[in-house]
Structures are given as C-alpha cells and as structure tokens.
Amino acid sequence: MDIDLLGLSQEQVSIWRVCRDFTDEIVIPFIRENREREWSAPPEKRWPKELLIAADKLGLRTVGLPEEYGGMKLDALTMVLIIEELARGDPGFAVTLSQNWKIPALFAGIAPKHLQDLWFPRYLDDPTFLWAHCLTEPRGASDRWLPHNVPEANMHTKADFKDGQWVLNGRKQFISNAYLASLYIVYANTNPDAPLQEGTSCFLVPRDTPGFHVVRENEKIGQNFIINAELFFEDCQIPEDHLLVKDTALKEAGSYFNAGKVLNAARALGIARSACEETATYIQDHTQGGKPIIQHQAIALRFAEMTTKLETVRVFVYNAARALDIGSANANLLGLMAKLYASETAFDICRHAMEIHGGSGAMREMGIEKHLRDSTILLHTDGTSDIHRLKIVKTMFPKTAGKYV
C-alpha cells in the first residue's frame, strides 16, 4: 500500500522516507552482515552500537527529550511510522531506541529540574547512552499488569528511608537495555500496608551506585540485539532527591505504558512487513514444478492471507496512534487491542512466511526464521497476550468484569 494514501501529513511522509532509507541502507545490511553476531558474540560486543551512532546522526535518538534540551516533540503516529520502519530492519534495535524515547519522556515529567539538567546533557553527548525502565520481577509480574491492586501484589523490591537516604533491596529481571544501560528508573515498594498502586515508588539509579549489580544477561529466542538483564539491589543507597515519585509511581507512569502499547504494536507491524516483503521476492524468484511458486494455488492463497492480515494490522495500529494524538477516551483500550492483535497476527504472518520457504525456511542461513523468532517475543512483551485480553474486558466493563486473579 502506498503510504501517501494513508492520510499522513507531508512532514510525516518526509520523516517516514528518511527512516525507510536509513533502514534499507544501514540497518538491513548491518543485520545481514552480522547474523552470527546475534548468537555468538558476548552482550558487550553484540549490541548494535554502530546503529545507535548512525541513528544519532539523523536525530533519531532525541525524540523523547524536551525541546529545551535539544529534543523534538513528535506525535504518536509519527513515532509509530519510525518504529515500524526500524523494526522492519531489526525489532531489537527498534526497542533499544524506543526505550531511549519513552524513558526520557517519563523522566522529564517526574524528575526535578536539577536532575534533568544533569542527565539530559550527558545523554546528548553520548550516542551509546542507554536508559532502562525496571519494573518486572521474578515473581508476580502478571498481578502488576492486571493490576491486582492489593498489598499481596506489591513489589518484592523494597525501599526504606534510613539516615537521610533511600536503601533499595530486591531483584528485577527481563529489563530491556539493562545490561549496558547508564541510567535506570527503578520501582520499589515503599508502603507494605498499601495496595500496589498506592505503595509503589520509583527512583533514579545511576549505573555506578554502590549496592547495585547487573547480575546476568537474559538470553532470549529472538530480538537479541536488545540486551535484557537481571538486576540485584543489595543495600543500594539512593540520595533522597533521587526519589522521583512517592507511592503513586505506577499511576504516574501511565503515559509510558499507554504509548508503549502502540509502539510495541508498531514493532510487530514492522516484523510482519519484513516477513511479507522477503516472501514476496522469494515466491517470484523460486521455482518448483517448472514454474515460480507464486503460480501454485496453495502459495498464492497463503500469501494473499498474509498480506491482507498485514494491512489490517497497519490500519489498526495507525488508528490507535491517532487516538492517542487526539486524546480519545478510547485511546487506552485501542492501545491494548492493537498490541494484542498486532503481536499475534505478526506471529501468524511470520509462521506462514517461514513455511512458504519450505525446509530452507527453518535454516538460519536463509534468514526468514529470524522473523518468527523475533515475533515470539512480542507475545510476552509489556504483558502477555492473555493479560491484554483480561485488561481489554476490564477496560470495557469496569463495573461488571471479574477480578481475574
């Protein structure tokens, strides 16, 4: 589908073209040349800092920063266009960059001015600077996503105020960017007697803080160019002014979560697009039974289904982004639906793409299997698919839906 026909502004089309060319000329060649790096390189050498440096030259790292610090304010739909293109190249790199948009935007809304003055210039000066948002823990993640707003669902990571400073103890896991990040926003329980949403605070934790440890990398089946990690806090001492939000941090982070749903849906869209585009080339170039396989009915029918699903995802995701931009009352609901539908549909599209490639599709050297591996991650990112289904019903029927715990 011609993107000019989708009701975009000329500025949006121009930004999309820049990102399209960046993906075609820089990201995709990098991924093809570094297939083994995804599997064999240690995390310090695996993460694609070359792509971050290249993105920085185009101004793609500063989207989430306030304009006074050199950032640029973009609407949700434009951010979706950018993420869709970057994810078409590699979804791991796309989420590395989008975390560096969402977390600074959250930080700008909750951090005191002197901390913004300290950290935003550092971020601007270092194109390899990473942020990490530290919420998920080894136990009870689904309760936090529903949310199950009772004390039993509270964070196991605790923060106590002692002798004029905060002391953190606990563990986080599956945290995007965390293995190599410079700065972390960490959520912890500060009121064990209060429900989850009234007893959770968030803190700013620089990487070199005593008592803070990056324990290990979390190895995944796909999206290995985003480096996740497990974190451990052992009597980690935080200055008093590094408390960003007291007790109501999960409520304050609503903008981070709402935008995140739509950007994750856009990431799924990018993966599905790439699988469809590569399959379109393959079915016209590969011959079997004396003719290109596009002329076999089974292939034609399956590819038609793939591309139809792709366009339904595109319309759904763009519509959810527009709902955010106009402040629609349904924006949160559409974001949940878009993330659920896009991630599950992308998985189906990528499965079809791999199967159309036959036995070669399962081979790493072909490359098409990477899309299927990458798409599996989205079924669990930012809440599982079933958690999204429950939240959709809770959002639609807040007074009559069950507790689902």
- Reduced 3-state DSSP string for the chain: CCHHHCCCCHHHHHHHHHHHHHHHHHHHHHHHHCHHHHHHCCHHHHCCHHHHHHHHHCCCCCCCCCHHHCCCCCCHHHHHHHHHHHHHHCHHHHHHHHHHHHHHHHHHHHCCHHHHHHHHHHHHHCCCCCEEEECCCCCCHHHHHCCCCCHHHCCCCEEEEECCEEEEEEEEEEECCCCCCCEEEEEEECCCCCCHHHCEEEEEEECCCCCEEEEEECCCCCCCCCCCEEEEEEEEEEEHHHEEECCEHHHHCHHHHHHHHHHHHHHHHHHHHHHHHHHHHHHHHCEECCEEHHHCHHHHHHHHHHHHHHHHHHHHHHHHHHHHHHCCCCHHHHHHHHHHHHHHHHHHHHHHHHHHCHHHHHCCCCCCHHHHHHHHHHCCCCCCHHHHHHHHHHHHCCCCCCCCC
Using CB atoms within 10 Å of the CB of residue 32, give its burial: 0 to 12 exposed, 13 to 18 middle, 19+ buried.
exposed
Hey, which CATH number is domain 253-396, 3.40.1360.10, 1.10.1760.20, 1.10.3720.10, 1.20.140.10?
Answer: 1.20.140.10
Question: What pLDDT digit, counting tens, does each position of 191-230 carry?
Answer: 998 988 899 999 999 999 999 999 999 999 999 999 999 9
CA distances from 394 to 68, 104, 307, 319 (A): 39, 30, 32, 21
The predicted structure's pLDDT at residue 154: 84
The predicted structure's pLDDT at residue 18: 95
Structure tokens, 362: 């399962």
Question: Tens place of pLDDT for every residue, the chain, 405 residues?
Answer: 556 557 889 999 999 999 999 999 999 999 999 988 988 899 999 999 999 999 999 999 998 899 999 988 899 999 999 999 999 999 999 999 999 999 999 999 999 999 999 999 999 999 999 999 999 998 766 666 665 677 777 889 999 999 999 999 999 999 999 999 999 999 999 999 898 889 999 999 999 999 999 999 999 999 999 999 999 999 999 999 999 999 999 888 776 777 889 999 999 999 999 999 999 999 999 999 999 999 999 999 999 999 999 999 999 999 999 999 999 999 999 999 999 999 999 999 999 999 999 999 999 888 899 999 999 999 998 889 999 999 999 999 988 988 766
The predicted structure's pLDDT at residue 63: 86
CA distances from 29 to 25, 32, 72, 149, 369 (A): 7, 5, 28, 47, 17
The answer to whether the CB of 313 falls within 8 A of the CB of 346 is yes
The answer to whether the CB of 307 falls within 8 A of the CB of 128 is no
The predicted structure's pLDDT at residue 297: 96
Q: What CATH number has the domain spanning 131-250? A: 2.40.110.10
The predicted structure's pLDDT at residue 144: 65
pTM of the model: 0.94
CATH classification of 3-125 is 1.20.20.10, yes or no?
no
The answer to whether the CB of 88 falls within 8 A of the CB of 273 is yes
Domain-by-domain residue ranges, the chain? 3-125, 131-250, 253-396
Question: What pLDDT digit, counting tens, does each position of 357-390 carry?
Answer: 999 999 988 889 999 999 999 999 888 999 999 9
The predicted structure's pLDDT at residue 170: 97
